[in-house]
């Protein structure tokens, strides 16, 4: 398989190379060639892939000679060029928001709706990071008990704003601790020792676009437009793992022990739920981990037979790079590449 990465020099691009190398090492992807692309200012840089130095090329405006193109260069670039990248037979797995809401573009989390990837017409969309992390826990519950309403509060890491967001947290924390005046560029307010209930632009309904993405994308991935979802998205001063508090109203009542047992067998999920031992999902334990941690599973005090839970997942992995590579793995396993 020939694999190309567009946006190779960004935070997600670096994670894509690590995940690809591990996938190849484990025999999940048979990779024969890796091509790296980025903006013109990165042309000529070298990046290491599995012990080999590869040269970064300028992102092309025509077809990319690869079987799979993993794109993480931003929505405007993907919108303009992805169809051209795919025009010679490549499958573009796009990490931006450019195609997520197009009816003819599958939005895929392989553990949940992998079969949707097989319907692609050259482009497959990777979900928003917050959605991808949430649906791993919610999908098994929805299949068994039926989710009627879903209320989500997110605690999103600075990695959601890319490498510049993480750099700003580190740099401005140093400024704060040294008694200097904290500034902000990547976020609408200073991020050190703060939480900001504002991610993306506000919509006419008072919700931000980030919050609406969770609603729109969860419905599409689960194939259920009747699901009522409300989300409050909050930026917090952590580096790379998003956490979410989720409350579910169910069509069929459930008890925590049943849900705990159900999720313990769910693909991509690690149940971490023993409050007596102070064991629950946290960014410090979920960072760098492929599986999404799920815990604090308890009976809802609002919805009869409903469930509350807490989720932590690495935004750069399952929320981005890992999910994209897993889509490629699914396609290859199904004989749907080349």
165 and 186 inside one domain:
yes
Q: Is the pLDDT of residue 338 over 70?
A: no
How many Cβ atoms sit within 10 Å of the Cβ of residue 79?
14
Query: Residues 118, 30: one domain?
Result: yes
Give yes or no: residues 120 and 196 share one domain. Answer: no
198 is catalytic: no
With 80 as the cut, is the pLDDT of residue 335 above it?
A: yes
Predicted pLDDT at 89: 95
Out of 14, 129, 142, 231, the active site residue is: 129
Pairing of strands 2-6, 33-38: parallel
Q: Is the pLDDT of residue 294 over 70?
A: yes
Helix (H, G, I), strand (E, B) or coil at 126: coil
- CATH number for the domain spanning 297: value is 3.30.360.10
Return d(Cα 307, Cα 261) in angstroms, integer.
Answer: 14
- Is 163 inside any structural domain? yes
Q: Coil, helix or strand for 138?
A: helix
Q: Tell me if residue 147 falls in helix, strand or coil.
A: strand
pLDDT digits (tens, 9 = 90+) for 211-251: 999 999 999 999 999 999 999 999 999 999 999 999 999 99
24 is a catalytic site residue: no
Angle at 104 (CA atoms; ends 230, 139), nearest 5 degrees: 40
* 271-297 average pLDDT score: 98
Q: Note whether residue 155 is domain-resident.
A: yes
- Co-location of 50 and 174 in the same domain: no
Q: Within this chain, do residues 79 and 23 fall inside the same structural domain, yes or no?
A: yes
Rounded CA-CA distance 318/311 in Å is 12
Mean pLDDT over all residues of the chain?
A: 96
Contact 25, 329 (CB under 8 A): no
Q: For residue 63, is it within any domain?
A: yes
Instruction: Name the pTM for this structure.
Output: 0.95
In this predicted model, what pLDDT tens digit does every residue of 274-284 receive, in sequence order? 999 999 999 99
Which residues are CB-contacts of 284 (< 8 A; sequence separation ≥ 6)? none
In a domain, 39, yes or no: yes
169-181 pLDDT tens trace: 999 999 999 999 9
Radius of gyration of the chain (CA): 20
Cα angle 261-318-147, degrees, rounded to a multiple of 5: 45
* Same domain membership, residue 307 and residue 258: yes
For residues 78 and 152, state if they share a domain: no
Report yes or no on 178 lying in a domain. Answer: yes
User: Each residue of 76-111: pLDDT tens digit?
Assistant: 999 999 999 999 999 999 999 999 999 999 999 999
Please state, in angstroms and rounded to a whole number, the distance separating the CA atoms of residues 249 and 150. Answer: 7
Are β-strands 307-314 and 46-49 bridged in parallel, bridged antiparallel, or unpaired? unpaired
The boundaries of the domain holding residue 91 are 2-127+320-333
pLDDT exceeds cutoff 80 at 1: yes
Q: Burial code of 125-134, b = ≥16 C-beta within 10 A, e = fewer? A: bbbbbbbbbb
Determine the angle formed by the axes of helices 129-145 and 256-264, rounding to 10 degrees.
Answer: 120
The total of structural domains in the chain comes to: 2
Does residue 338 form part of some domain?
A: no
| Whether residues 178 and 158 fall in one domain | yes
- pLDDT tens per residue, range 127-151: 999 999 999 999 999 999 999 999 9
- Integer Cα distance of 98 and 82 in angstroms: 9
One domain for residues 43 and 172: no
**Looking at residue 122, what is its pLDDT?**
97
Q: Of 112, 109, 130, 166, which Cα lies nearest the Cα of 311?
A: 130
- 89 lies in the same domain as 136: no
- One domain, residues 257 and 303: yes
Give the pLDDT band (50/70/90) at residue 337.
confident
Supply the pLDDT for residue 118.
Answer: 97
Which among 14, 120, 142, 242 is annotated as catalytic?
242
Residues of 4-18 as b/e, b for ≥16 C-beta within 10 angstroms? Answer: bbbbbbbbbbbbbbb
Question: Taking the C-alpha atoms of 145, 147, 153 and 154 in order, what is their torsion angle to the nearest 10 degrees?
Answer: 80
| 311 in the same domain as 208 | yes
* Residue 88 belongs to domain with CATH number: 3.40.50.720
């Amino acid at each position: 398989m020939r694999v190309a990465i567009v946006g190779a020099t960004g935070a997600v691009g670096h994670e894509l190379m690590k995940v690809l190398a591990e996938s190849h090492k484990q025999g999940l992807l048979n990779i024969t060639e890796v091509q790296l692309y980025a903006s013109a200012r990165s042309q000529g840089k070298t990046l290491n892939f599995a012990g080999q130095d590869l040269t970064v090329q300028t992102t092309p405006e025509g077809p990319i000679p690869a079987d799979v193109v993993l794109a993480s260069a931003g929505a405007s670039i993907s919108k303009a060029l992805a169809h051209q990248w795919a025009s010679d037979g490549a499958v573009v797995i796009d990490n931006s928001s450019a195609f997520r809401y197009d009816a003819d573009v599958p939005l895929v989390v392989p553990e949940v709706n992998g079969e949707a990837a097989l319907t692609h017409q050259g482009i497959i969309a990777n979900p928003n990071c917050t959605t991808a992390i949430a649906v791993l826990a919610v999908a098994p519950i929805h299949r068994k008990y039926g989710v009627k309403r879903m209320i989500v509060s997110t605690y999103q890491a600075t990695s959601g704003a890319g490498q510049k967001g993480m750099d700003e947290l580190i740099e401005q924390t140093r400024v704060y601790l040294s008694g200097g005046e904290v500034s902000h560029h990547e976020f609408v307010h200073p991020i050190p020792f703060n939480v900001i209930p504002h991610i993306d632009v506000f919509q006419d309904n008072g919700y931000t676009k980030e919050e609406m993405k969770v609603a729109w994308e969860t419905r599409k991935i689960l194939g259920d437009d009747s699901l009522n979802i409300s989300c409050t998205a909050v930026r917090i001063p952590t580096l790379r793992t998003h956490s979410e508090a989720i409350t579910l109203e169910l069509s069929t009542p459930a008890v925590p022990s049943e849900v705990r047992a159900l999720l313990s067998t769910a693909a991509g999920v690690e149940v971490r739920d023993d409050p007596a031992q102070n064991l629950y999902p946290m960014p410090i334990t979920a960072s760098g981990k492929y599986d999404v941690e799920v815990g604090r599973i308890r009976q809802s005090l609002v919805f009869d037979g409903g469930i509350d839970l807490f989720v932590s997942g690495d935004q750069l992995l399952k929320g981005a790079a890992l999910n994209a590579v897993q889509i490629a793995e699914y396609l290859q396993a199904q004989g749907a590449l080349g």
